Every structure is written in C-alpha cells, then in structure tokens.
Structure 1
C-alpha cells in the first residue's frame, strides 16, 4: 500500500498502480570486506550489458550485509516503460530528482522501503523483529549513491545502524526459512507529489547464503559518489 492522492488530508493508503521498474536480475556475492559501487566492476552485469550495446537506465540496489563473512545482495531494476520519467506525472518529477539530480540528501529523504516478512518455519521472533513498517532508510542508516553510464547505484550500509545490523544478523541465521517481500517507492510529501507509485520490488525466498559467489574487487575502479560527478545535473535519457 502506498500514499493515495488525498493522503495529506485523509491519511488513506491505496494499492499502487503498476510498478514503474521491473526487476531484471539479482546477485548474491560474498566479499572479504564491504564494498561499494559494484556496478563499476568490470565483471558486473551492468558493465557486461553496456559492452553488449544495452543502454537502458539501470537502478542498482545493493544491500550490504555485515559480516564476517560480508555479503552483497544486489538487485538490478530497469524502467518498465519508455515514459517512466514523464514530467507531467508526480512519479516522473520525483524520479528525475532521485535518479539524475545532484542531491544525495534528497535521495536519502525520499527512497522508501515497504517490507513484509513471513516465516515459513522457524522462530517467530525473527518475523517480529523484521517488521512491516515502511521506512525512509536514508534517515536510519548510511546510504551511498554512485552514478555511471546511465545508471544509479544505491548501497545500503546495514552496519551503519546497530539496530539494523542486529536484525539482519538475526534474519540471516534463519534465511532458509524466511520469505521477505521488499518494495521501494519514492515518498511524496506534497499534494503535487501524490499518489505514490511502487518503484520496484523483490521477493527473497529461502535464501541460501552458501550459494553466494566470491567477488574479486582487486581490479575495481575507485568509487565516485553521485553528487561528485560533474554531469550530475544533466539527465541521460538513453533507453
């Protein structure tokens, strides 16, 4: 459920219209230490797609699971339609600022997670700890944003919040008995920014951490924050 068109007056949430992005792929990596800007790595899916001539915008979302061992759960989203950034729509206006703007603070204040966890088997405490309350994660833990060749990567540093780290460690201990649905949206704070629309989502079903692939980052380029790029204010609209 997302904020409806009249949410500011009636506080009513409604079912979202069709999500704006579709999930294209998911990676699970195991790392010797936490790493950011994985999309810049020469062997990453984004770089491989670019070499193959794919130019669509990609939102890369990494959940940095604290260790040791350290894990990177990485989702790759692309727009579901060419008009996803239509400036006559509330979503389009917000999306332009989030994905192509020069303010990491804006991204941190607007990207919102709507989680829902259900336990197939295992300790009920895990479900209670995971919860299902929407959250602006950028106000609760550290996020890193990086721009590249028509993509934005958002890295969620779970270890930056002791509460989030403890909950995540609890969940990883029961990973094979958990089904976790996560949906992201861009929060609308004014009448002109509503209704909200689901950005994209992923279901984690009985995750096997032993299946994580090792990732060698020795040849990866140094990360560059999104807000530090000289062209951060110039949207690239290649499809």
Structure 2
C-alpha cells in the first residue's frame, strides 16, 4: 500500500511540469518555421557558443547542452510594469508549485526571465526554466544563482536567432547576435527560496526599445529564437552551456493575459546604466540600417556584428 501511494505522489510531482508547460496564454507548439502564436524550445545545437579552446583560438561551436528544462512562457499585459512576477499572488507557476510536497519544492529550482515591454500598454514576456536535479555546489550555475550585481551583470547573456520575419526586422535585430544584457539594459535580480527571477527593462535603452517596437509592428509574422546563458570567462568554465532556449512564434499582441499590477516591498538589485560596449554596438547597427535604407540589403538580410570582445 505504501508503495502504491508513493508512486501516485511521484506521478503528481511530475505532472506539475506538464501542467505549467501546457498552460499560459502562449501554447506549447511544435518546433517548426510555420508555428503560430506559441512557444517551443529549440535545440541547443542551433546556437553558437564559446568552445573548449575559445580563449586560445576564438572558435565558437554549436552548443551541446542545456542546464535547465523549458517550463513555460507567459505573455502578459498589465496596468503598469510588472516587476517580480513570481511573487504575484496570481502567478500560475508558483500557484502550481505551492501545491507540491515540501520535499518536492526544496528540490525544484525555477529561473524566470521577465522581458518587460513598456509603452501605453505594459507587456511582459516571461520565460520559465526549471530543474528538479540537485545543483552542484561550486558549479558555474550554482555561482550564478547565488551571485551578486557585479557577477550577474557581467555574465548574463542573450543570443538571438531570427527564424522568420521581414528583412527589416532581421536587419534591425541582427542574427546570432550576442549581448550581455546586464551591461546593455536595466536588469533586476530577485533571489527567492527556490527561484531566481531576472527582470529586463527593454525601455531602459532608447535604441533597443525602438527596435523592439519595430519588431512588434510585424509581430504576427516574426518567429525568433532566444537562448540565455552564463558567459564563460575562464578556461575551466568552457565550453559554454545554455541556461535554456525559447522560440516565440508569431504571437498576437491582443492575446496577452491580463494581470493586475501589485505593490510589493522587496529588495531588488538593479544595474542602471547601459555599458559603453553596447552603445558601440548600437552605433554600428544604426550605420548599418542607414546603409540599408539607402541601398537595400543583399538577400533581404544583414548580419550584425555581435556585441562582445573578439
């Protein structure tokens, strides 16, 4: 009898992942170029990362591993900018997690990346990743989870890949473009008992905000892959591994779920000023777009030099 009860509990603990993955305003769709209004998780190998000999040969290789599993995506709108969404009483992920046993909650870790899009209407695209495996103490992932402002801002990287979309979006956003988000935008990091949330304020960069709103104008025809990773800066941290990846496929703005903003009193770390490196990147991008406007682009796309040291 005890064995049967244990088996039921195990199935229940695993079912919460499926429940979260299939819920939300963006549905989990198949990984294909014509997927519509949904999200999927592209394989690690689609993204080029620093290889084992990067600091000697500057060679990037297809990534071979993800540290966390994709858990789900929320496409939200609110009356004000949504900060610390995991603390919101109506956050569906935490609602499901709280139903688990204490033991299951202790072994489950969630990374939430909240991309905040502010204008007349406030939107957030929240990406959830998870693991229920023990995180090795002293590992790069463990150090990242328990980091500080300086560490987070110097390591938290995004690599994007435009899968489908008009040439102007590809030119503006770049393809396979890498960026240290903590140096480019205002990022706020919130450490919870079993989670880390990173709130990324797109509006903190005028140019990034403008390019995002350009993309939103074509949003129903754009599919983009985004991979998040911890930048490796020493030989023993190579090769780089992804935290996780998400494909956003041709979403509909009006389909966002409404979530009332709530007041909170919590200590949030922030990095306020975009770095000079990112400013140089966008100046190069502006010149590229100027040339496109004057002369057009070959094959309908322009590859943008990535914003990191060569």
Question: Which TM class, normalised by the smaller chain length?
Answer: 0.7 to 0.9
Q: Secondary structure at the match of 1:17?
A: coil
1:224 aligns with 2:275: no
1:119 aligns with 2:119: no
| 1:13 paired residue among 60, 65, 68 | 60
CA drift at 1:226: 5.8
CA–CA separation in structure 1 for the residues paired with 2:264 and 2:93: 14
Alignment of 1:9-158 (within 5 A): 9-53=56-100, 54-55=104-105, 56-79=108-131, 82-83=133-134, 85-87=135-137, 93-101=139-147, 103-120=148-165, 123-132=166-175, 133-158=177-202
Could you list the runs of 5+ residues in structure 2 that have no partner in the other structure? 1-47, 271-310
Q: Distance in 1 between matches of 2:98 and 2:201?
A: 29
Q: Does structure 1 retain, via aligned residues, the 8 Å contact 2:79–2:261?
A: no
Residue 203 of structure 1: aligned partner: 247
1:230: which partner in 2? none
Instruction: Say if 1:59 and 1:77, in contact at 8 Å, map to a contact too.
Output: yes
Supply the distance in 1 between the matched residues of 2:265 and 2:252 (Cα, whole angstroms): 30
Q: Secondary structure at the match of 1:68?
A: coil
Larger-gyration structure (1/2):
2
The answer to whether residue 234 in structure 2 is matched with residue 183 in structure 1 is: no
Give the TM-score, by structure 2 length: 0.67
| Secondary structure at the counterpart of residue 48 of structure 1 | helix
Query: Which residue in 2 is equivalent to 1:236?
Result: none
Unaligned runs of 5+ residues in structure 1 are: 228-239
Aligned to 2:5: none
TM-score, normalised to structure 1's length?
0.85
Question: 1 CA distance for matches of 2:251 and 2:267?
Answer: 31
Q: Distance in 2 between matches of 1:37 and 1:128?
A: 32
Count of aligned positions = 217
Structure 1, residues 193-238: CA drift from partner, whole Å, max 9, x if none? Answer: 11111110100100111100111123x53333269xxxxxxxxxxx
Q: Quote the Cα distance in structure 1 between the aligned partners of 2:79 and 2:261.
A: 9
CA distance in 2, matches of 1:151, 1:23: 14
Task: Tell me the distance in 1 between the aligned counterparts of 2:267 and 2:195.
Answer: 13
Q: Following the alignment from structure 2 to structure 1, what is the Cα–Cα distance between the partners of residues 239 and 93?
A: 31
Q: Give yes or no for contact 1:36–1:223 (8 Å, CA) kept in 2.
A: no
Q: Which residue of 1 aligns with 2:236?
A: 192
| Residue 231 (structure 1) aligns with | none
